């Protein structure tokens, strides 16, 4: 049978062992979670995120993924930097493969998903975000995130922008710090992770170009604004799986 949870969230697939001629069965969940959250859910309620062992398994998944409202569905694929290989959440090696021609990626914090339409496998970051309600200056927020998580959040694509937007709406105040910072010496904005700002979602009057400025997301519109680094706001930390 197929199990559905009707929630307006991202999709993932897990399997549950049965004592039948086939010792596992796939189920389809409509619930938005990061890869790690999806795995935790699957292991709590069933067995694990889905493993794809052969073409027959892929055909079953392909049929189910077509019913998804989103383009990608998490499965149990994950990458380990220490061994430089992809493996399944069940700790099995990846023998049968169906990667897209541009895949797989090779970077810490990557996990695998199945693409709707083609059922090809794609790698995505297991990027996770945490809203910290404490009010801190930008520098203090950066220190806190690096001590307790990984870093202040970066927003490098529309998907991450959506994730940040959902968390900002929970804040009690109008602005929430993210990892945007400005350097006067180079006259540019960049992320605390030292990545350049390529994807942008600035307010129409932004960005500012003054020393001691940092970036925040505005509650309501989720547009980016530049504020004095000494101002105190809640903030969003990021964490990644470094397997």
The CA distance from 33 to 183, in Å, is: 35
63 vs 8: which has the higher pLDDT: 63
Which of the four pLDDT bands, split at 50, 70 and 90, describes residue 14? low
pTM: 0.62
pLDDT for 169-200, tens place per residue? 889 989 999 999 999 999 999 999 888 898 89
Instruction: Determine the average pLDDT of the residues in 211-230.
Output: 95
Tokens 């959040």 correspond to: 153
The CA distance from 40 to 37, in Å, is 5
Give yes or no for a contact between 113 and 125, defined as CB atoms under 8 angstroms apart: no
211 lies in the same domain as 107: no
**Once rounded to an integer, what is the mean pLDDT over residues 47-58?**
89
Phi, psi of 211 (to 5 degrees): -60, 155
Instruction: Please write the tens of the pLDDT for every residue from 199-212.
Output: 899 999 999 999 99
Specify the CATH number for the domain of residue 35. 3.10.100.10
The CA-atom distances, in angstroms, between 126 and each of 87, 90, 190 are: 15, 17, 21
Residue range 153-171: average pLDDT?
Answer: 86
* Token digits of residue 227: 């504020």
Is beta strand 48-49 parallel, antiparallel or unpaired with respect to 175-183?
A: unpaired
Examine the domain organization and report whether 133 and 221 are in the same domain: yes
86 & 133 share domain: no
**CA separation for the pair 174, 222 (Å, rounded):** 10
| φ, ψ at 159 (rounded to 5°) | -65, -45
Q: What is the pLDDT of residues 88-118, one digit of tens each?
A: 998 999 999 999 998 998 877 789 999 888 8
Domain residue limits at 108: 11-125
- Domain end: 89, 108, 125, which one? 125
Same domain, 119 and 155: no
């Amino acid at each position: 049978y197929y199990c559905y949870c009707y929630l307006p969230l991202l999709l993932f697939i897990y399997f549950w062992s049965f004592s039948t001629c086939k010792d596992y069965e796939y189920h389809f969940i409509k619930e938005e979670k990061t890869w790690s959250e999806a795995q935790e859910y699957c292991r709590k309620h069933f067995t694990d995120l889905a493993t794809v062992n052969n073409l027959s398994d892929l055909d079953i998944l392909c049929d189910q993924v077509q019913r998804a409202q989103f383009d990608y569905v998490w499965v149990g694929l994950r990458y380990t930097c220490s061994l430089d290989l992809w493996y399944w959440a069940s700790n099995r090696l990846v023998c049968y493969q169906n990667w897209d021609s541009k895949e797989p990626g090779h970077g810490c914090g990557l996990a695998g998903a199945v693409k709707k339409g083609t059922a090809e496998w794609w790698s995505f970051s297991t990027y996770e975000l945490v809203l910290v309600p404490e009010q801190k200056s930008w520098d203090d927020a950066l220190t806190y995130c690096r001590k307790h998580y990984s870093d202040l959040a970066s927003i490098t694509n529309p998907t991450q922008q959506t994730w940040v937007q959902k968390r900002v709406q929970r804040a009690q105040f109008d602005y929430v710090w993210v990892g945007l910072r400005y350097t006067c010496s180079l006259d540019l904005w960049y992320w605390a992770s030292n990545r350049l700002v390529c994807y942008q979602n600035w307010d129409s009057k932004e960005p500012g170009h003054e020393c001691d400025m940092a970036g925040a997301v505005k509650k309501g519109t989720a547009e980016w604004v530049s504020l004095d680094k000494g101002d105190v706001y809640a903030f969003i930390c990021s964490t990644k799986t470094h397997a």
